[in-house]
Amino acid sequence: MHFELSGDQKMLVETAASFVKKQSPVNRVRGLRDDDIGWTREMWRQMGELGWLGILFSEEAGGFGGSFLDASLVLEQIGTTLVPEPYIASVILAGSAVARAADPRQQQALLGPMIEGSTSLALAYAETDSRYDPLAIGTRAEPRGSDWKVTGKKVFVLNGHAAETLIVAARSGGASGDREGVSLFAVDAKTPGVTVRPIKTMDGHHAAMVELAGVELGADALLGAEGAAGAVLEQVLDLGAAAACAEGTGIMRTVLAMTTDYLRTREQFGVKIGTFQALQHRAVDMFIETELGKSTAILAALKVEDPDAVERKTAVSAAKVQLAVSGRFVTQQSIQLHGGIGVTDEHDVGLYFKRMHVLNSLFGDEEYHLRRFANLPSFTANLDTPARSTAAR
Amino acid sequence: MDMSFSPEELAFRDEVRTWLAEEIPPSIRDKAEVDAYFDMKEVMEWHKLLYRKGWVAPHWPAEHGGPGLDAARRFILTEELELAGTPHLSPFGLVMVGPLLMQFGTEAQKKRFLPKILSGDEVWCQGYSEPNAGSDLASLKLAAVDDGKGNFVLDGQKTWTTYAQYADWIFCLVRTDATAKKQAGISFLLVDLKTPGVTVKPFLTTGGTPAFCETFFEGAVVPQENLVGPLHGGWTIAKALLGHERTLIAAVGLSARAIKRVKRIARAQKQDGRPLLEDPAFRTKIARLEIKLRALQMANYRALAGAALGHAPGPESSILKIRGSEILQQSFELAMEIMGHNSLAWFNEPGVVPPLEQWVASTFNYNRATTIYGGSNEIQKNIIAKLILGLPS
């Protein structure tokens, strides 16, 4: 048991911190939010050159065989300046889905170019009535000999507006809510029958509503075994939740620093407002929430790849609830302590507030994860034996 | 970074668990099962059992009789002891004055006091607060006047001297220079409680147990060889001690036990014919508290891991006292809520309420002290605002 980052990890943090500060300061997302794409191919390629896009993937697939913790270190830095490139959408969600479901040949074909930064992917999972249930899938995949015909509507497909390939979750068997019968398909966004309607999200990012009207796909579009991707989808959305926690940590750290800077410089009543005890204590509460959010984000990063699903879900749900509680408090109070300037569009704090809302809502919000946590077997396990820590096994 | 234990560390944990299973005396086991109040006789009985095993002071170095455990094993031992619910050892000797003497004491003082702290042959208490020196500790007045014959003569009063009625020695902050700036005139002095002129008067807390005392000094003569550190240099020593106290009060293990008891009580209490534990509203209420605790537990691991590497306590350690004390209070509040009518009962014969609920009301009351002692949470926030957030004063 140790909590030190390795030498390589420390270097990764340093490189990432200086890269985002220089290459993608926060005004970049402000400039790109009204653009059609919202991020740039050039920056994506640079992230590929730095190796960030391949951290999670095996060497056979063209990646570097790193851990989720490594990716979370990059994500935390991405959060500090709100880098708009689709790291969560393309790498964490779609990329991990491919890595976990697809055969080696499919992995090479889909992940290879993405890891270099020449393509990007998107995972189309959510539907109008699915809310946060990964298995509530109505989109149908019907066999046509060895080929497939896919019909359905996907909503809020992150990076769906720009991805070359959509990874689509569809039901080839079972009923909505079943773990069995879920299949993943790699769908070229230009396939006839695919309609991609670009939309904007609150945080200046872009996504798409995707309609699949009887889209005909070849046999090799199916990733891995038919009907076996339900568990993969659950794992991948937990990776998304853990990623949101990591990025959220970067956001909280940053707005806390912005706020304490402001308290040290802003004067009212002839003194620095940071001398007022009410504001000092509020800032300390923000600091406490930031540290607790960071602590559970680390817990989630370490446990999200655990083969034991209960262990994984316990840690991820705890972290996602804590992110919601901490992230909401820290960003709200950051605006409050900035006063009126905090609600102007020209001030950066609003951009962080918006991104935090998006991260809290994605991959299961506070209520969803609170309920999931409370209903896991771990919640009522071993009540009659001495209390045992579950954070360390 | 890795949260799992090595096979050797797991073997050590098994050794601790086996020893606990075999060695906890039946009288202590019965009380531990329901988290009853342990009297000092039981606390010292347990102290001596641990002493004979060599585990009474996990954090003491081998040269002073500690077990010479590495950080992970120290962590395991401490956590297993807390989780077993065995008596909380008096911290004043083992955690406070002992390590302080190792750092600031003379060779003669170390030789005289450390072995008996370890063996439990001498029990210590703390003389810091006074009736008019609470949060503003540096305004303390207990006078120690040089009698010109190698002694100090003490006149004044200490209060909140926890368990002084069972103690043999008290370590005191005394005023040795009444003319200097208030922090500069304080010294750190060890006083034998049998000294003529020293009187100890216990008083009840709202929890109904005699945890605290007032201690009076009337012309008590104390040899100057009992001075620790330089004359008038006591404030620096006091501040070093407060750091030790802060991590101590995180009480993660206590809260883990408390939340587990909340679940057990909720399993036994029924509403509409079914256990409260199955009521979704109560269940998510408990889940919310448990998630708070997990966040704190993880912050605690980070702090302990940092300390094990010899780092000064990082920013995360300062939040432990604040959040740990709040969570402990909240867990007893929730237990009281779940107990319903049973929460009204106060120190009755066994059988009025179930054994598991017998001590909850007392501790619920006593625990209001946790956000006050060791430096109130408001004082902690003042410190964080200044030292960590760099806010102006």
Mean pLDDT of all residues in chain B? 90
Taking CB atoms and an 8 Å cutoff, what residues of chain B touch A5? Answer: 1
B236 has a chain A CB within 8 A of its CB: no
Owner of token pair 């509460």: A285
- Closest CB from B6, B84, B286 relative to A386: B84
Q: Which of B9, B23, B122, B245 is catalytic?
A: B245
- Closest CB from B284, B287, B296 relative to A292: B296
- Closest CB from A5, A321, A375 relative to B291: A321
Please report the pLDDT score of residue A390 as a whole number: 39
Judge whether B245 counts as a catalytic residue: yes
Of B155, B1, B9, the C-alpha closest to B70 is B9
Q: Which residue of B has its CA nearest to A381?
A: B260
> Do residue A370 and residue B323 have CB atoms under 8 angstroms apart?
no
Please report the pLDDT score of residue B211 as a whole number: 84
Q: What six digits make up the tokens of B65?
A: 């009789």
Q: Which residue of B has its CA nearest to A384?
A: B264
Please report the pLDDT score of residue B244 as a whole number: 60
B2 has a chain A CB within 8 A of its CB: yes
User: pLDDT category, B309, cuts 50, 70, 90?
Assistant: low
In this predicted model, what pLDDT tens digit does every residue of A76-135 receive, in sequence order?
999 999 999 999 999 999 999 999 999 999 999 999 999 999 999 999 999 999 999 999
In this predicted model, what pLDDT tens digit does every residue of A197-246 receive, in sequence order?
999 999 999 999 999 999 999 999 999 999 999 999 999 999 999 999 99
Substitution target from B1, B4, B77, B393 for chain A, most A beta carbons within 10 A: B1
Residues in contact with B288: Cβ distance below 8 Å, sequence separation at least 6, in sequence order: A321, A370
Taking CB atoms and an 8 Å cutoff, what residues of chain B touch A386? Answer: 83-85
Please report the pLDDT score of residue B88 as a whole number: 87
> Do residue A374 and residue B283 have CB atoms under 8 angstroms apart?
yes
B178 has a chain A CB within 8 A of its CB: no
Taking CB atoms and an 8 Å cutoff, what residues of chain B touch A392? Answer: 3-5, 301
Q: CA A347, CA A335: separation in Å to the nearest integer?
A: 10
Q: CA A75, CA A87: separation in Å to the nearest integer?
A: 8
User: pLDDT category, B214, cuts 50, 70, 90?
Assistant: very high
Please report the pLDDT score of residue A383 as a whole number: 86
Owner of token pair 């010479």: B68
> Do residue B391 and residue A380 have CB atoms under 8 angstroms apart?
no
Taking CB atoms and an 8 Å cutoff, what residues of chain A touch B388? Answer: 287
- Closest CB from A6, A264, A288 relative to B323: A288
Distance, in angstroms, between B31 CA and closest chain A CA?
Answer: 13
Please report the pLDDT score of residue B249 as a whole number: 59
Distance, in angstroms, between A325 CA and closest chain B CA?
Answer: 10
Decide: residue B277, CB within 10 A, 0-12 exposed, 13-18 middle, 19+ buried.
Answer: buried
Residues in contact with A11: Cβ distance below 8 Å, sequence separation at least 6, in sequence order: none
Please report the pLDDT score of residue A392 as a whole number: 39
ipTM value > 0.90: yes
B272 has a chain A CB within 8 A of its CB: no
Beta strands B227-228 and B186-192 are antiparallel
Distance, in angstroms, between B101 CA and closest chain A CA?
Answer: 29
In this predicted model, what pLDDT tens digit does every residue of B270-301 receive, in sequence order?
999 999 999 999 999 999 999 999 999 888 88
Q: What six digits make up the tokens of A320?
A: 């996602």
Taking CB atoms and an 8 Å cutoff, what residues of chain A touch B391? Answer: 260, 263-264, 274-275, 280, 283
- Whole-structure pTM value: 0.93
> Do residue A281 and residue B385 have CB atoms under 8 angstroms apart?
yes
- Closest CB from A284, A317, A387 relative to B381: A284
- Closest CB from A2, A288, A373 relative to B319: A288
Distance, in angstroms, between B94 CA and closest chain A CA?
Answer: 24
Q: Which residue of A has its CA nearest to B259?
A: A387
Please report the pLDDT score of residue B313 as a whole number: 60
Taking CB atoms and an 8 Å cutoff, what residues of chain A touch B257? Answer: 387
Residue A205 vs residue A382, higher pLDDT: A205
